[in-house]
Amino acid sequence: MPSLFPQDLCQGRSLLPAGGPSHILSTDHGPSDLTLLWAEWQGRRPEWELTDMVVWVTGASSGIGEELAYQLSKLGISLVLSARRVHELERVKRKCLENGNLKEKDILILPLDLTNRSSHEMATKAVLQEFGRIDILVNNGGVSQRALCVDTSLDVFKELIELNYLGTVSLTKCVLPHMIERKQGKIVTVNSMVGIIAAPLSTGYCASKHALRGFFNTLRSELATYPGITISNICPGPVQSNIVKNALTEEVTKPTGSTADQSYKMATSRCVRLMLVAMANDLKEVWISDQPFLLMIYLWQYMPTLAWWLTNKAAKRRIENFKSGVDWVHVSPLSKHFHTIKRRSPICSTGSFDFVPEGCRFLLF
């Protein structure tokens, strides 16, 4: 078993395979696993490592992708912004130019539909023609889901797999030969915590994210002969964005249209900052979330029986609230109570449920 030495962390090496004991709950210092927290404290800085690069971001018109564009624009890089909504990309570009260190020529707007896989090769050629190389591909495009499996049309599952999984795989396969030729590059995929655990009302979304995690973990092993090509799997928990508003329901043409409660979610800016740290340190997999969600992924990894029990308890409440049209976290005042006590009583990474602060237990139930 590899030792927990700082030099391993500073060099961006995983302490164990993805999800190993390095993924310990955060304390007062930040909402992520220990490897990422250490990298933020002692590792390579994004301001040093991510300059003078060409970065292609999909799903750049809103949410994490939009915020990523803003923070990257301050690092002196060339940006390729892709999504389906061109007018939103134009808005993001204008703000990047206002707030960042880039000029007009440094940002390319490249409309892209991940489900139109036949267009991906041409899009890749357009980026290479514009900038000559692709240093980092950030696979961020995707859509979520809010519906019971029994009520969901098979077309919804197909759309989720086409967009979240096959579209991402297709674009990656188009960019990968270029990186192999150069023997360097970073492939960063914004996955989700539900790519590791179970989340009721998101069967199709969970399936697509589990598939992504399996694909990129295996691809990483196939690229072992190319140490200059790194793959980072980013697994955020709830983050402030429009992902719920745009989520599919039981029909493809029927999005939820509701932003739901955002108060318990992590700030997008904090999530993206931690993503940049992971990218700068070539971390293989990181977990980014506030509590109690980080606790749950920890339990899923090391105490699956307890995790299943807690998940099933929470699922019953969540489904009841979903059927009554109420956001499941919003109804619990303990979610706000947790945020007031978590800095005074951080959850300890002891592997014992007895160490969870009393106010958190009921939130999980």
Residue 165 a catalytic site member: no
Q: Of 205, 226, 264, 302, which one is the catalytic site residue? A: 205
Overall residue count recorded for the chain in this entry = 365
Q: Tell the residue number behind the tokens 């509701």, with chain if given.
A: 258
Nearest to 139 by CA among 234, 74, 217, 72: 234
User: How far is residue 62's CA from residue 211's CA, in Å, rounded to a whole number?
Assistant: 24
For 260, phi then psi, to 5°, come to 60, -175
Amino acid occupying residue 186: K
352: left (phi over 0), alpha (psi -120 to 50) or beta: beta
Nearest to 204 by CA among 155, 253, 140: 155
Count the alpha carbons within 13 Å of 223 in the hemisphere toward its beta carbon.
25
Nearest to 188 by CA among 109, 108, 285: 285
Q: Tell the residue number behind the tokens 């797999």, with chain if given.
A: 161
Catalytic residue positions?
A: 205
